[in-house]
């Protein structure tokens, strides 16, 4: 111990903190970790209470208003998480309270699983990690997942030591917790089984599998009742796209950065080089490598989010800690890197407490967390008591949270989200609303806190076009360039819905068509004309349109749209591949 203390004293960037804690004769080295944990918790609590919500936090808060067994993108745990927190505290602290508590608990459990060995190294690994710093106070599905997978890794160790009934029960509860938190957690469970194929011969394995499935049945029932919208989106919606090597490079660099800027590569190296003849640690390494390779493979097809590997954080830190604690040369290098990185991350976090200060380029990055309460108030004043329909789900959620009134998203050419499963649009049918979106062409301009100019426009009678289906029943596969071409469209109006002729103050209904370059997905030509509705229309309407073709030859994707604003697309047809010659 004396040798280690002397080493830390002369080599670590954390030396001032260490000397302070060790200055009195009665102090011991173990005071370091409790002191860090208290400081970590207090910082997260203050930040949770004082800093405005991120866009996605506001979105998940809307979920908590409508308790369900599932949501279109994730299982229900994050909504229950926020619901429980807001029942204790109001405001941002309520949304984030359980996240702060869970963050502290997770770190303590990690230290306990490491037998509180080398706390300075563990503190450096945690405090220099971007995901753990952000996850300390920002609520997302990864918040309950972090606690859930920690419980799972604890249960896994107990089960691998001895598959007792108590260990099996712990595994069942932790697996259920993981699966109700985020679908990504299933990867951890699958990799565990792959690393231990002999489990397939165990009666206890099949017992805990059956019990976990039974406990998960309510969510499976919800998925079935919704046509598996949720898990279908999780598996397919995020991975659509063409192969792109830049996505792979972005994923690799992102993993090196979020696990510790500058020190990330060293952490990954240390974790993968860790050698122990221990079934539990071999399983952790298999899980770590499996998660990394799984998303690396998917990154070829689409862009990966850096936080999707969050369930690998414990194996990464556990294994890296074990390796670095035995390699004093690399430990010294890591501590020297982690010190400045931690100082930079702490500086950024402290900057978030001063929204009116000027921090140069950082102001733009921090704008998601500041100014939205004031901006939402201005939007609500402009609406004058009318409902607001705003941009995508993030903007709508942010205005709803800080404006105090329900706001629905326009969902113009955007991916499906939880708002699509609510009856909020039915409540707006035929009412005068205020539209807020950056893609509108008319109305006034208001600049959002993120610096994006938003157009604000009145709409005298709102109609929900999402359920209206458009398809081309007669369309040529080849067009001549720079001419007009014809197409016959079928417009299917759902039962119970009627398209009424626009009133004197209403916007006319437009039907538009656009050609997109198939190689670059760029909009090449776009044309809109008034959709003449002179009588109430319902069921199926057949409509003939004339559209201008592109000036250049090539292969294009042609699609058709309906809306009440000329420049928007509220109901869209499938895309049709056509040749322009």
Q: Which tens digits make up the pLDDT trace of 460-501?
A: 888 777 778 888 888 888 888 888 888 888 888 877 777 776
Q: What is the mean pLDDT of residues 520-536?
A: 69
Task: Determine the average pLDDT of the residues in 243-261.
Answer: 85
Q: What is the pLDDT of residues 34-84, one digit of tens each?
A: 999 999 999 999 999 999 999 999 999 999 999 999 998 899 999 999 999
**Averaged pLDDT, 338-360:** 86
Region class of 452: left (phi > 0), else alpha (psi between -120 and 50), else beta: beta
- Residue 27: predicted pLDDT: 47
> Smallest Cα–Cα separation from 371: which of 51, 10, 20?
51
pLDDT beyond 60 at 577: yes
Domain 469-580 belongs in CATH node 3.40.50.300: no
Residues 8-38: tens digit of each pLDDT: 445 455 555 444 444 443 444 568 899 999 9
Residue 241 — pLDDT band, cuts 50, 70, 90?
Answer: low
Average pLDDT over residues 97-113: 97
Residue owning tokens 């997770």: 106
578 by DSSP, 3-state: which? Answer: strand
Q: What pLDDT is stored for residue 329 in this prediction? A: 92
Q: Which residues pair with 469 in a beta bridge?
A: 492
pLDDT tens digits for range 265-289? 899 999 999 887 789 999 999 999 9
- Which position has the token pair 């710093």? 133
Per-residue pLDDT band for 106 (boundaries 50, 70, 90) equals very high
The answer to whether the beta carbons of residues 94 and 86 sit under 8 Å apart is yes
Q: Which of 276, 267, 427, 428 is nearest to 338 (CA)?
A: 267
- Dihedral of CA 387/390/396/399: which sign? negative
Instruction: Please count the other Cβ atoms lying within 10 Å of the Cβ belonging to residue 520.
Output: 8
Higher pLDDT, 480 or 216: 216
Confidence band, pLDDT 50/70/90 cuts, at residue 365: confident
- Do 402 and 413 touch, CB atoms closer than 8 A? no
Q: Assess whether pLDDT exceeds 70 at residue 113.
A: yes
Q: In terms of Cα–Cα distance, which of 67, 71, 70 is closest to 80?
A: 67
Q: Region of 262 please: left (phi>0), alpha (psi -120 to 50) or beta.
A: left
Q: Region 387-410: what's the mean pLDDT?
A: 93
The distance between the two most distant Cα atoms of the chain, rounded to a whole number of Å, is 91
SS (H, E, C) 338-381: HHHHHHHHHHHHHHCCCCCCCCCCHHHHHHHHCCHHHHHHHHHH
Confidence bin at 364 (pLDDT 50/70/90): confident
Sign of the C-alpha dihedral, residues 349, 351, 354, 359? negative
Please measure the distance between the N-terminal and C-terminal CA atoms of the chain and give it in whole angstroms: 80
Is residue 5 over pLDDT 50?
no
- Give the start-to-end residue ranges of the domains of the chain: 2-350, 377-459, 469-580
pLDDT band at 121 (very low <50, low <70, confident <90, very high): very high
Q: How far apart are CA 213 and CA 236, in angstroms?
A: 23
pLDDT over 80 at 389, yes or no: yes
CA torsion sign for 449, 453, 458, 459 is negative
Q: How many residues does the chain have?
A: 581
Which has more pLDDT, 536 or 298?
Answer: 298
For the cut 50, the answer to whether the pLDDT of residue 211 exceeds it is yes
pLDDT of residue 242: 62
183 to each of 196, 230, 232, 401, how far by Cα in Å? 21, 9, 11, 26
pLDDT at 231 over 70: no
> Which 8-state DSSP code applies to residue 412?
T
pTM of the model: 0.85
Q: What is the pLDDT of residue 343?
A: 94
Per-residue pLDDT tens digits for 412-464: 656 778 888 888 888 888 889 999 988 776 788 999 998 899 999 888 888 77
What is the residue-averaged pLDDT of the chain? 86
Q: Which bin fits 74, alpha (ψ -120 to 50), beta or left (φ > 0)?
A: beta
Residue at token pair 């190294």: 121
Phi first, then psi, for residue 409 (nearest 5°) are -85, 150
Q: How confident is the model at residue 503 (pLDDT cuts 50, 70, 90)?
A: low
The token duo for 206 is: 């099949």
Q: What tens digit of pLDDT does each residue of 542-575 get?
A: 888 888 888 888 888 888 888 776 556 667 788 8
pLDDT for residue 551? 85
What are the C-alpha distances in Å from 57 to residues 65, 175, 402?
13, 25, 12
Chain segment 308-347, per-residue pLDDT in tens: 999 999 999 999 999 999 999 999 999 999 999 999 999 9
Q: What is the pLDDT of residue 177?
A: 98
Query: Dihedral of CA 502/506/508/511: which sign?
Result: negative
pLDDT band at 378 (very low <50, low <70, confident <90, very high): very high
pLDDT score at 225: 83
**196 dihedral zone (left: phi>0; alpha: psi -120 to 50; beta):** beta
Strand order in the sheet with 484-492: 469-475, 484-492, 540-548
Q: What is the pLDDT of residue 232?
A: 55
Q: Which tops the pLDDT comparison, 228 or 31?
A: 31
pLDDT at position 301: 78
- pLDDT the model gives residue 568: 64
**Gap between the Cα atoms of 183 and 170, Å rounded:** 20
């Amino acid at each position: 111990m004396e040798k280690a203390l002397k080493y830390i004293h002369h080599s670590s960037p954390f030396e001032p903190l260490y000397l302070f804690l060790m200055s009195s004769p009665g102090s011991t080295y173990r005071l370091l970790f409790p002191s860090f944990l208290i400081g970590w918790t207090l910082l997260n609590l203050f930040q949770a209470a004082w800093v405005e919500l991120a866009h996605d936090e506001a979105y998940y808060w809307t979920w908590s208003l409508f308790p369900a067994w599932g949501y279109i993108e994730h299982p229900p745990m994050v909504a229950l998480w926020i619901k429980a927190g807001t029942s204790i505290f109001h405001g941002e602290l309520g949304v984030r309270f359980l996240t702060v508590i869970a963050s502290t608990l997770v770190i303590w459990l990690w230290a306990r699983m490491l037998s509180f060995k080398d706390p300075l190294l563990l503190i450096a690994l945690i405090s220099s990690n971007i995901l753990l710093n952000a996850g300390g106070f920002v609520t997302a599905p990864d918040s309950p997942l972090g606690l859930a997978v920690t419980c799972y890794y604890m249960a896994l160790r107990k089960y691998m030591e001895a598959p007792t009934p108590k260990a099996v029960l712990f595994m069942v509860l932790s697996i259920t917790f993981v699966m109700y938190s985020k679908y990504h957690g299933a990867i951890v469970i699958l990799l565990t089984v792959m690393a231990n194929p002999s489990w397939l011969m165990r009666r206890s394995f099949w017992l805990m599998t059956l019990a976990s499935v039974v406990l998960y049945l309510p969510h499976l029932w919800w998925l079935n009742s919704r046509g598996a919208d949720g898990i279908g989106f999780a598996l397919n919606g995020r991975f659509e796209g063409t192969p792109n090597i830049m996505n792979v490079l972005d994923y690799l660099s992102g993993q090196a950065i979020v696990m510790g800027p500058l020190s990330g590569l060293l952490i990954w190296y240390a974790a993968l080089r860790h050698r122990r003849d221990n079934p539990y640690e071999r399983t952790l390494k298999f899980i770590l490598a499996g998660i990394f390779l799984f998303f690396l493979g998917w990154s070829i097809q689409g862009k990966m989010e850096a936080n999707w590997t969050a369930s690998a954080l414990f194996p990464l830190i556990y294994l890296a800690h074990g390796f670095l604690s035995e390699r004093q040369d690399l430990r010294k290098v890591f501590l020297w890197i982690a010190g400045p990185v931690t100082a930079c991350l702490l500086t950024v976090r402290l900057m978030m407490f001063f929204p009116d200060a000027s921090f140069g380029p950082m102001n733009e990055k921090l704008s998601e967390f500041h100014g939205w309460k004031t901006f939402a108030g201005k939007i609500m004043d402009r609406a004058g008591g009318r409902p607001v329909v705003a941009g995508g789900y993030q903007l709508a959620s942010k205005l709803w949270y800080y404006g105090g009134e329900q706001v629905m998203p326009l969902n113009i050419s955007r991916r499906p989200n939880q708002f699509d499963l609510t009856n909020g649009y039915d409540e707006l049918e035929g009412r005068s609303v205020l539209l807020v979106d950056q893609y509108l062409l008319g109305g006034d301009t208001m600049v959002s806190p993120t610096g994006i100019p938003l157009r604000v426009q009145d709409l005298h009678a709102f109609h929900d076009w999402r359920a209206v289906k458009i398809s081309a029943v007669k369309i040529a596969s080849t067009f001549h360039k720079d001419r007009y071409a014809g197409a016959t469209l079928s417009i299917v109006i759902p039962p119970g819905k009627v398209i009424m002729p626009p009133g004197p103050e209403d916007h006319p209904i437009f039907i538009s068509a656009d050609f997109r370059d198939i190689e670059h997905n760029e909009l090449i030509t776009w044309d809109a004309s008034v959709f003449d509705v002179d009588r109430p229309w319902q069921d199926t309407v057949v409509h003939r349109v004339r559209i201008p073709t592109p000036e250049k030859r090539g292969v294009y994707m042609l699609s058709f749209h309906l809306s009440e604003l000329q420049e928007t697309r509220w109901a869209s047809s499938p895309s049709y591949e056509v040749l322009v010659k």
